Chain A
Amino acid sequence: MTAGTAPIPQAPASPGDSGERLITAISRNVRQFGMLIALVVIVAFFQYTTGGVMLKPQNVTNVFLQNGYIIAMALGMLLVIVAGHIDLSVGSVAAFTGAIAAVLMVNYNLDPLIGIVAALVIGGLIGAWHGFWIAYMRIPSFIVTLSGMLLFRGLTLFMLNGQPVGPFPSGFRDIASGFIPEVFGTVQDPFGPDQLKVTTLLLAIILCVALIVLDLSSRREQLKYGFQVSHVGQFVAKNAIQTIAIMFLAYRLAGFFGLPEVLLLVLVLIGVYMFVTVRTVIGRRIYAVGGNAKAAMLSGVKTKKMVFLVFINMGVLSAVGGLIAAARFNSATPKAGDGFELDVIAATFVGGASAYGGIGTVAGAVIGALVLGILNIGMGLMGIGIDYQFAIKALVLLLAVFVDVRGKNRD
């Protein structure tokens, strides 16, 4: 029994063969950044097949104008799926909240701000309605939100009397189609004919620097606690690629009308939700509930409350999506938001969230939304029929999840 008393010495972390380490690092990164790589490949593919049209400033801008609401709603769906649930009602809720804002602004001539706040509050209440049945009455989320999908579609028809309501005041329209005001004027593009918007470029530079500073400080922290960190070369390469990608995007946007307001909104939301999921107590608890609800409960996590909050959040973000969509089409229609739920759920799963709960990242969901959005635009530019588009997206979804599941099983 003496063997038991003496603490068994920790095996020193073996430095290992550096070549071997590089290979494992690459393979780990391939898995981690698999979807990002797929995104790049897809963009490159369309850039080639459309003869360079894909990355024209207008199309790059369109990617964000067309997918802003999907990304916003995917942030909420990510939390729902991480908590081990699903929400099928987001399309109907988006339509309903959009309709509320539209009726208030158009029929009652109220200030757009009132319409927006009303839509967000009602979105939250709808989320609370779903969350109540799911968390406290223990009805499966699939059923509750299927019911919500029908209920709020019906209420949308009722609100709008079956007619589109619009157009909207320009201040509201700008949410989806406006661009940030140009403060610093323009410069001539050295590589092309366009005038570049300087403000957009400056904001991009600030973002790049901020990201590098954040990454550096987290790396320093990791080193302080003796964690293995990525190779310096890898670190530099990652940040270089990231900076180039952001600057390239900004360059393209600057060559058109500059930074779309909706992209700014979505970027802020992405930042907030990244922070919430990674760094806050509530984010941690949501992941724990999805990872093992019983263990979380026995650790003192109020699991029901967490699920309730996640659905309220989803309701609010559905309203955000509904507002952006309404603004984009300049009217609220009875059919608005039809099928959004499928795009949003697909984006989350393509981005690596687990259908069993507990796993998924904000970055993944955003990349998933972009993959699907770029497929839409690229296939449209190529002139592929809508019939094939559906089929191709379907197969991409299946393939992405298959690769993800295989990768996890092998771990």
Chain B
Amino acid sequence: MSEVLLEMRGITKTFPGVKALADVSLSVRRGEIHALVGENGAGKSTLMKVLSGVYPHGTYEGQILFEGREAKFSDIRASEDLGIVIIHQELALVPQLSITENIFLGNEEGAHGLVNWGAAHARARDLLKIVGLDDSTDTPVRRLGVGKQQLVEIAKALSKEVVLLILDEPTAALNETDSQKLLNLLREFKAKGISSVLISHKIKEVESVADTITVMRDGRIVETLDATAGKVSEDRIIRGMVGRDLTHRFPPRQAEIGEVVFEVKHWNVAHPIYDDRMVIKDVSLNVRRGEVIGIAGLMGAGRTEFAMSVFGRSWGRFVSGSAFRNGKEVDVSSIPKAIKNGVAYVTEDRKTFGLVLISDVKTNITLANLDGVSSHSIISEPREIRVANSYRDQLNIKCSSVKQIAVNLSGGNQQKLILSKWLFANPDVLILDEPTRGIDVGAKFEIYTIINRLAAEGKAVVFISSELPEILGISDRIFVMASGQIVAEMPAAEASQETIMKAIMRLGRASDEGIVA
């Protein structure tokens, strides 16, 4: 086999409170397609950010050898100089600028601070030919579809004389045709001696294109599979991704489930900007008193979009559907109405959507239910403090006092703060969107315990998570979402990570074919 291009040895990267990578070693050969798979949060993106210099040398432990020499990248530029180019999941293109301008952004063709547009367009045209794009080079990027934008990104990478191309879920937003085009491009690059690292959740494409498959889990490498020797099966990869000891990570749960409290029927929502793009397609689900339902799915499956559109149409353009509380249809067309009708939504993005970070703990707790601490619109500070102190004790929020500013709390405590806010609003149904993202294991366990207690008190809980073990550990019933649809519903007792993954993959294939047809 060909020579080793890249070797990462014993990479360990810690963030405050979390070990994102633990002693990870990875080696990539020249001219191979190396797939990196694992669940959300397994550490794939972090590893690639270490490699590309987003996390500069010194912020991690371990060693990177590139073309036999030790590399200590201080920033992305330094890694690009050696030909390591990363294409992030969120494309880094400026929509208003032309294809040419985007390709050479930060690396302009010309000299002495002047741009030679003639040469730039000519080179851009050559690059577009390589990636198989025949649009005019002065087309603004915003006029291109996602697939073509992805190709522009790759052309941009080629302009930098790429040796190692890193693609973070490049096909997540692409249809089958565009995905195939992109994968074929990677095969062509391979023939030219360019290596690719492909991060992907689509096991099928990994299976078809990769020479080597590295499976990551919890910040560690689980195994590296050689696909050149013989085909590695989908099941084999999934088992590697999810296989872990599931006992004792979740508090025991004794469910006492009552009648249906909240139900959504035939819910359809369009994209807020592109009216013809349906993001949520005919979703129906229900949740019963004392029950925790899980909504599983990959990122981009439409779970957050669904939840937010139910919560006062706070996402997208509502098309059709109805919501029922205790069997009676209710109006959830604005956030205040949704709250009044017993719905609460705990956002996945604590800092942007959840908290007023510059305000103190008590102010955040009472924000969604100021009527609960005021009379005649005048806030009673004693009542507010009593309420805040009570939630602080119940949920064990660690703060110096309820007058501490929220920004200084840890992730887990901020999450408990948002939970407090919604508990005080006293909803019937509590939608929790990725409530344990980015918080440490101990705090996760506390959140699970709180969820169990809420269910035991008779609340209905909708639990959205990308982590399958968590969904399995906490839910009574599981809905699986993919491409904006509910593709499976199963009792948690009968579910496994494999069945959920298979439900997702099955639809992935069906909907791709649908788009082609």
Contacts and interface: CB of A to CB of B under 8 A. Distances in A.
Interface stretch (A175-183, A266-274, A286-294): A286-294
A4 B442 contact: yes
Given A225-B389, A288-B356, A298-B314, A281 B378 contact: yes
Contact of B356 (A1, A5, A281, A295): A295
A221 interface: yes
B359 A221 contact: no
B378 A279 contact: yes
Contacts of B377: 280-282
A302 B249 contact: no
Given A291-B358, A300-B336, A300-B339, 20 more contacts: A3-B442, A4-B444, A5-B449, A10-B398, A280-B374, A281-B374, A281-B379, A284-B363, A284-B379, A285-B370, A291-B357, A292-B356, A292-B358, A295-B352, A296-B356, A298-B314, A298-B335, A301-B367, A358-B358, A359-B358
A297 B338 CA distance: 12
B344 to A, nearest CB: 10
A296 B367 contact: yes
Interface string B314-340: 100000000000000000000110110
B42 interface: no
Contacts of B445: 1, 4-5
A8 interface: yes
Interface stretch (B150-158, B255-263, B380-388, B484-492): B380-388
Nearest to A408: B358
Main secondary structure of the interface of A (DSSP, over half): helix
Given A296-B356, A300-B335, A302-B336, A4 B446 contact: yes
A281 B354 contact: no
Contacts of B311: 298
B421 interface: yes
Interface in A294-346: 294-302
Interface residues of B, number: 48
Nearest to A297: B335
B56 interface: no
Interface in A367-398: none
Nearest to B314: A298
Contact of B398 (A1, A8, A279): A8
A227 interface: yes
Contacts of B382: 221, 224-225
A218 B396 CA distance: 27
A221 B403 CA distance: 14
Contact of B359 (A8, A287, A300, A301): A287
Name the residue in A5, A218, A284, A294 with the highest tally of chain B Cβ atoms < 10 Å from its Cβ.
A284
A274 B363 CA distance: 17
B222 to A, nearest CB: 22
A251 B291 CA distance: 70
Interface string A333-365: 000000000000000000000000011000000
A36 B133 CA distance: 65
Interface in B375-422: 377-379, 381-382, 385-386, 389, 396, 398, 400-401, 403, 421
Nearest to B418: A295
B381 A295 contact: no
B350 to A, nearest CB: 9
